[in-house]
């Protein structure tokens, strides 16, 4: 089946009449960058969208010639991207390599009301769960983000535990993936067992045709088949159209046997050295499509109230703080270690897959250039028989592009935090 490019907006408009439809879109913000405006003391609390523009985002900005974008971009503003609700006039950015923010909030909103409770007019106590009843279509998902939904499904829907708020949204979600035709310098999904051109778990897969005139369309689930039947009038017969050539990530890591190595390295001095440069801002967890920590709170009024949950971050000390001030992860080292161990070891133990999908967002946005691929390289370079850190952790970035990527982080260059990781001259993850 074929979806001609000139029919995409017609299909999206029709879909938007029945469901909430989200598409990748450029957005602008006037939030000043960490490097240009925030003093070091406030950079730690800066949100993900406030990090400095990189080559990739700058390229996106320069390629965006829409009047809205060119009119509002100032030197202190950046063009970022995320999945946005499609409305008439929305310009989907299917040309983007990857969105700045992942689509996880469609299933796991940053703030989500869960229950209303109180005492009714008859004096009876009530607790009502709050559910979103809309059908949702996410159109233009990439392989990494489709895999991230599989990881979230594992967490929220398996092992005898079903999160009703997630499950209800998941049941009403249809995913339409588009195979990547370009990769960013920070993408490494194919090293994590994915294929940038195909998202097997998506309901529908689109592949751009070689002549760039259309998408080849394929249903991959029952839900996807029903979707294509419902909207059949927007699709044509495929005839003999050929898909565009497959792409491959240029950033590579060796992710084999990582779990076993990391298990053996839990007490290794690597973690202490690695964590020195981290400013525990939490940016990496907020831009990560698979991070799913949350905190539950409530707003109490006189006779009623609401309970809600908000994204949290394992990089914050308060995340594990317990009554009586006990904290099982009291220092930065234990939190940094937890994040990487969870991504590359603990999750695989529990669910049989790694929790890093190689999207590269944390590499792109970490203000001190703490790069998960360089951590993986360092771990792979360690000899388990040789406990000496300085002899087993490489002192140089693995390739020119990685070195350039980290060196070009403005914060890494100018605030001194990046250098703190190198005080002992051993950890190269600082770039």
> Where along the sequence are the contacts to ligand SF4 (CB under 6 A)?
278-284, 287-290, 315, 343, 356-362, 366-368, 370, 372
Q: How far is the CB of 81 from ligand SF4 (least distance, A)?
A: 15
Show the beta-strand stretches assigned E in 198-342.
204-208, 214-219, 294-300, 304-311
Closest approach, Cβ 268 to ligand SF4, in A, equals 18
Q: Give dist(CA 64, CA 396) in Å, integer.
A: 36
Q: How far is the CB of 387 from ligand SF4 (least distance, A)?
A: 25
Nearer to ligand SF4, 140 or 421 (CB): 421
- Return the SS3 of 404: helix
Q: Is the separation of the CB atoms in 364 and 186 below 8 Å?
A: yes
Identity of the residue, 110 or 212, whose beta carbon is nearer to ligand SF4 in the bound complex: 110
Contacts of 352 (CB under 8 A, 6+ apart): none
- Cβ atoms of 308 and 111 within 8 Å: the answer is yes
Which of 257, 224, 407 shows the shortest CA–CA distance to 344?
A: 257
Closest approach of ligand SF4 to the CB of residue 26, in Å: 20
- Nearer to ligand SF4 (CB atom), residue 11 or residue 279: 279
Q: Reduced to 3 states, what is the DSSP secondary structure of residue 367?
A: coil
Q: How buried is residue 348: exposed, middle or buried, by Cβ count under 10 Å (0-12/13-18/19+)? A: middle
Q: State the Cα–Cα distance between residues 69 and 60, nearest whole angstrom.
A: 11
Residue 283 near residue 231 (C-beta atoms within 8 A): no
CB-wise, 28 or 313, nearer to ligand SF4?
A: 313
In whole angstroms, how close is the CB of 280 to ligand SF4 at the nearest point?
5
Side-chain-facing half-sphere of 218: CA atoms under 13 Å: 17
Residue 279 or 341 having the CB closest to ligand SF4: 279
Written as six digits, the tokens of 67 are 């009047």
Min separation Cβ 278 and ligand SF4, Å: 3
Q: Which is nearer to ligand SF4, 202 or 288 (CB)?
A: 288
Minimum gap (Å) between residue 145 Cβ and ligand SF4:
9
CB of 178 to ligand SF4, least distance (A): 18
Question: Can you name the residues that pair with 28 across neighbouring β-strands?
Answer: 79
Closer Cβ to ligand SF4, 21 or 194, answer by number: 194
Neighbour order of strands in the sheet with 173-178: 2-4, 214-219, 204-208, 173-178, 136-141, 20-29, 78-85
Pick between residue 8 and residue 369 the one whose CB is nearest to ligand SF4.
Answer: 369
Helix then strand then coil, in percent of the chain rounded to 5, is: 40, 20, 45
């Amino acid at each position: 089946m074929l979806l001609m490019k000139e029919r995409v907006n017609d299909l999206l408009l029709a879909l938007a009449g029945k469901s909430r439809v989200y598409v990748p879109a450029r957005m602008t913000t006037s939030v000043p960058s960490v490097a240009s405006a925030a003093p070091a003391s406030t950079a730690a609390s800066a949100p993900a969208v406030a990090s400095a523009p990189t080559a990739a985002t700058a390229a996106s900005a320069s390629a965006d010639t829409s009047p809205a974008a060119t009119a509002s971009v100032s030197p202190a503003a950046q063009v970022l991207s995320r999945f946005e609700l499609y409305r008439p006039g929305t310009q989907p950015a299917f040309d983007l390599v990857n969105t700045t923010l992942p689509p996880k909030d469609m299933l796991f909103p940053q703030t989500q009301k869960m229950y209303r409770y109180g005492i009714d007019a008859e004096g009876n106590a009530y607790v009502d769960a709050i559910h979103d009843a809309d059908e949702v279509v996410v159109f233009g998902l990439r392989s990494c983000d489709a895999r991230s939904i599989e990881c979230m499904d594992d967490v929220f829907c398996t092992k005898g535990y079903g999160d009703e708020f997630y499950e209800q949204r998941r049941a009403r979600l249809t995913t339409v993936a588009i195979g990547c035709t370009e990769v960013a310098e920070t993408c490494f999904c194919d090293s994590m067992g994915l294929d940038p051109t195909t998202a097997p778990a998506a309901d529908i897969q689109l592949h751009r045709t070689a002549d760039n005139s259309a998408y080849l369309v394929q249903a991959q689930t029952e839900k996807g088949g029903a979707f294509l039947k419902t909207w059949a009038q927007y699709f044509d017969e495929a005839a003999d159209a050929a898909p565009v050539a497959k792409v491959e990530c240029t950033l590579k890591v060796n992710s084999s046997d990582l779990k076993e190595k990391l298990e053996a390295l839990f007490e290794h001095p690597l973690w202490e050295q690695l964590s020195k440069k981290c400013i525990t801002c939490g940016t990496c967890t907020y831009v990560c499509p698979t991070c799913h920590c949350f905190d539950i709170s409530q707003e109490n009024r006189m006779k009623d109230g609401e309970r809600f949950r908000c994204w949290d971050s394992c990089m914050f000390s308060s995340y594990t703080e317990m009554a009586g001030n006990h904290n099982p992860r009291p220092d930065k080292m234990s939190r940094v270690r937890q994040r990487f161990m969870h991504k590359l070891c603990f999750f695989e133990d529990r669910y049989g897959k790694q929790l890093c999908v190689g999207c590269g967002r944390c590499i792109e946005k970490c203000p001190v250039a703490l790069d998960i691929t360089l951590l993986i390289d360092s771990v792979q370079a360690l000899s388990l028989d040789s406990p000496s850190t300085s002899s087993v952790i490489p002192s140089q970035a693995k390739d020119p592009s990685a070195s350039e990527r980290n060196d070009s982080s403005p914060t890494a260059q100018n605030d001194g935090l990046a250098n703190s990781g190198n005080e002992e001259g051993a950890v190269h993850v600082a770039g």
